[in-house]
Amino acid sequence: MNITNEILQPDSFYHIYNRGINSCKIFESEENYLFFLEKFSKYMNTVTEVYAYCLMPNHFHFLVKIKSKSEIKDFAKVQNFDKVNSSKGLHSLDSVISKQMGKFISSYSQAYNKVTNRHGALMESPFKRKRIDSEEYLKNLIVYIHLNPLSLGINFKDYKFSSYKTLLSDAKTNLKRQKTITVFDDIENLIYCHNNPPRLDFEF
């Protein structure tokens, strides 16, 4: 399945990720990172649950679970999306999620371009997605996402713009903290798996 055409199925896990055009930066300042997360929450928390994320200077990763068919249909009704159904096409459930993703990316990109005085598309289109088809893949992907800062020479435990530190804290969050921890059985095993990662073979 093409990673840009995978149909986003309700109640399923996906790795959603993307990068800047020609690998250009999509974040220049801490304010950019925080604004990006704010916009993601506004548009995507309506149709997804977030289990893990990491924002890097020129790309991002989210591990999400698509909400149930009934939840998406209810949201679509509130938004006046008519004739939403489970098939492919303009009125499919997938189109509702993709529309939200499009609004999110557009909102962030326009603001970023204005602040940095640039023009044109900021990120590759369409966004990339891969369905998670096993518990092992799910667990390994969470670790992979959190270890991304190592490529910048930064200790992943100290990185501000990933979900790792939030998982270990009691801070208020939209992240599905307990559900993510349960993937590893408990917090101790989550920490162990991050400190002793398996060989990860995922391509960005």
Q: Are 18 and 124 in contact (CB under 8 A)?
A: yes
Give the model's confidence band at 204: pLDDT under 50 very low, under 70 low, under 90 confident, else very high.
Answer: very low
SS3 content of the chain, % helix, strand, coil (to 5): 45, 15, 40
d(CA 99, CA 95): 6
SS3 of residue 201 by DSSP: coil
Per-residue pLDDT of 4-15, as tens digits, reads: 567 789 999 999
CA 149/CA 70 separation, integer angstroms: 37
Give pLDDT tens digits for 129-155. Answer: 999 999 999 999 999 999 999 999 999
Residue 67 confidence (pLDDT) above 80: yes
Residue 37 has pLDDT above 70, yes or no: yes
SS3 136: helix
Q: Which two tokens stand for residue 110?
A: 């326009």
Domains in the chain: ranges and CATH: 13-195 (3.30.70.1290)
> Residue 181 and residue 190: Cα distance in Å, rounded?
7
Pair 80, 92: CB distance under 8 Å: no
No. of helices (H) and no. of strands (E), the chain: 7, 4
- Is the distance from CB of 42 to CB of 104 less than 8 angstroms? yes
